[in-house]
């Protein structure tokens, strides 16, 4: 049975599957953006700490989420192969993995921040944010595992509605907990931001699980089959492990990238943090289309329609070019809204600077921020292409190659050039982001040559 009413692999079919996922991703990423926006108006140090500690947390919590979401690949291939009675199994294996991750996340939450940020001037803030986010990391993994039930079958509307609802919860709790209510709730600052985001994740998991266990799903997809299947579990881990490890390596790499920039001074890391926050907000296109392409490709691979996968790739490129033109309006021609959002009153926090010095500093920062945002436009374009190809290769189970490229390119293509340019050569934040563009261009090219080589077609992922 076709996944949609549109021609297979067409732009319209990919959009019909990916657009709800883009909205879902936008809603989730908007939570991070709002966290940092509120924190920027609460405390400049709190916002900068959320960038550094958040990047480190994504390396740990995000890699667990990536691994749990690999249930999507098997749900998609089972669905494409009409093996509906097996669809509940991979979801449950990743549910068990998420629950088991509590034993790992708890000690990391307690002691990880002490090791990661011990030498940082913002140690207390970074450690507090890292603790609360890591403590609730298993709920994020559970949400990823449960959403795979809908994403893998191309039924993405439910995921979108859930994300929008959770986003509303997060925004309300952000405002309530970060700033507090006089006489009722004391301001929690960065701790409040972490707790608000984590509470939103818990609400999502509860509702997802209730819907997953509906009578119709138990009958058709065997969602009540909660037994542990070692073979099914290992296949999910085997496919998702390299992707998860790659995500961790990249997050560690980006964490050091920002450490290098922070050595230039508070203004530089603040500009880098704003650029990262804006990139995160617009990253919904890359993630949505990447996951949509993975869902469609998994179904086509399960049905042995390999040529249609190439059509999905071409459709994804067309959609990305369209969004690139739209994003150019914000990044290249109209960056003022982002500048005003983050910098409007931030310099009131620099108590050690005179009014005149603040004006000079702010003018230089604004100029640097505008130029760096324009550089980020091209980073976003190639990152979208990379996620498109990565989604397709992941759907085929060709994830070991992705890991090998990451292991080689993160230190050699991103960290080493950045260190030499910033710490040895004394370069600035703009040049560092030019290096990031070069890095993602090379990685995208390597991914494309792998995809065009068609070795992924020979991988037998699902046992019939």
pTM more than 0.95: no
**pLDDT at residue number 361:** 59
What percent of the chain is modeled with pLDDT above 70?
Answer: 91
Q: What is the mean pLDDT of the chain?
A: 83
d(CA 58, CA 140): 11
Cα distances (Å, whole numbers) of residue 427 to 260, 422, 424: 10, 4, 8
Q: How sure is the predictor about 463, in pLDDT bands with cuts at 50, 70 and 90?
A: low
CA-nearest of 225, 222, 244 to 98 is 244
Q: Is the pLDDT of residue 171 over 80?
A: yes
d(CA 132, CA 329): 37
Q: Is the pLDDT of residue 84 over 70?
A: yes
pLDDT digits (tens, 9 = 90+) for 390-419: 989 988 888 889 889 988 999 999 999 999
Q: Is the pLDDT of residue 462 over 80?
A: no
Q: How sure is the predictor about 346, in pLDDT bands with cuts at 50, 70 and 90?
A: very low
Token pair in block for residue 404: 């090998």
CA-nearest of 72, 84, 206, 89 to 149 is 72
Residue that is written with structure tokens 């997050």 in the block: 251
For 13-26, b where at least 16 C-beta lie within 10 A, e where not — what string?
A: bbbbbbbbbbbbbb
Asked if residue 29 lies in contact with residue 37, where contact means CB atoms within 8 angstroms, the answer is: no
Q: How sure is the predictor about 3, in pLDDT bands with cuts at 50, 70 and 90?
A: low
């Amino acid at each position: 049975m076709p996944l949609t009413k549109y021609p297979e692999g067409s732009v319209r079919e990919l959009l019909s599957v990916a657009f709800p996922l883009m909205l879902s991703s936008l809603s989730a990423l908007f939570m991070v953006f709002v966290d940092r926006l509120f924190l920027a108006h609460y405390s400049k140090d709190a916002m900068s700490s959320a960038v550094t500690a958040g990047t480190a947390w994504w390396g740990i919590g995000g890699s667990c989420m990536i691994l749990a979401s690999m249930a999507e690949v098997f749900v998609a291939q089972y669905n494409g192969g009409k093996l509906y009675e097996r669809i509940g199994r991979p979801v449950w294996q990743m549910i068990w993995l998420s629950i088991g991750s509590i034993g790992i996340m708890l000690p990391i939450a307690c002691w990880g921040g002490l090791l990661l940020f011990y030498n940082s001037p913002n140690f207390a803030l970074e450690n507090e944010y890292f603790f609360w986010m890591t403590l609730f990391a298993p709920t994020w993994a559970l949400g990823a595992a449960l959403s795979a039930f809908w994403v893998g079958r191309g039924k993405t509307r439910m995921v979108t509605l859930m994300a929008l609802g959770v986003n509303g919860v997060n925004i309300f709790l952000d405002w309530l907990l970060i700033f507090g209510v006089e006489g009722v709730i004391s301001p929690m600052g960065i701790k409040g931001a972490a707790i608000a985001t984590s509470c939103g994740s818990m609400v999502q998991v509860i509702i997802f699980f209730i819907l997953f266990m509906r009578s119709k799903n138990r009958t058709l997809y065997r969602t009540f089959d909660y037994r542990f299947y070692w073979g099914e579990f290992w296949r999910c881990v085997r496919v998702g492990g390299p992707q998860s490890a790659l995500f961790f390596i990249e997050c560690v790499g980006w964490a050091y990238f920002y450490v290098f920039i922070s050595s230039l001074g508070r203004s530089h890391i603040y500009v880098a943090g704003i650029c990262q926050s804006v990139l995160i907000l617009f990253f919904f296109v890359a993630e949505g289309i990447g996951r949509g392409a993975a869902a469609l490709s998994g179904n086509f691979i399960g049905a042995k329609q390999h040529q249609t996968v190439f059509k999905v790739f071409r459709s994804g490129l067309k959609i990305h070019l369209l969004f690139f033109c739209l994003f150019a309006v914000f990044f290249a021609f109209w960056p003022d809204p982002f500048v005003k959002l983050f910098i409007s009153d931030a310099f009131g926090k620099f108590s050690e600077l005179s009014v005149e010095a603040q004006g000079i500093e702010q003018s230089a920062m604004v100029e640097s921020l505008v130029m760096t945002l324009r550089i980020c436009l091209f980073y976003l374009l190639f990152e979208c292409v990379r996620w498109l190809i990565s989604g397709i290769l992941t759907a085929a189970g060709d994830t070991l190659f992705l890991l090998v490229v990451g292991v080689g390119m993160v230190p050699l293509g991103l960290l080493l050039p950045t260190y030499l340019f910033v710490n040895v050569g004394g370069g600035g934040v703009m040049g560092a982001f030019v290096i990031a563009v070069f890095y993602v261009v090379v990685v995208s090219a390597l991914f494309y040559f792998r995809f065009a080589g068609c070795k992924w077609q020979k991988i037998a992922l699902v046992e019939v």
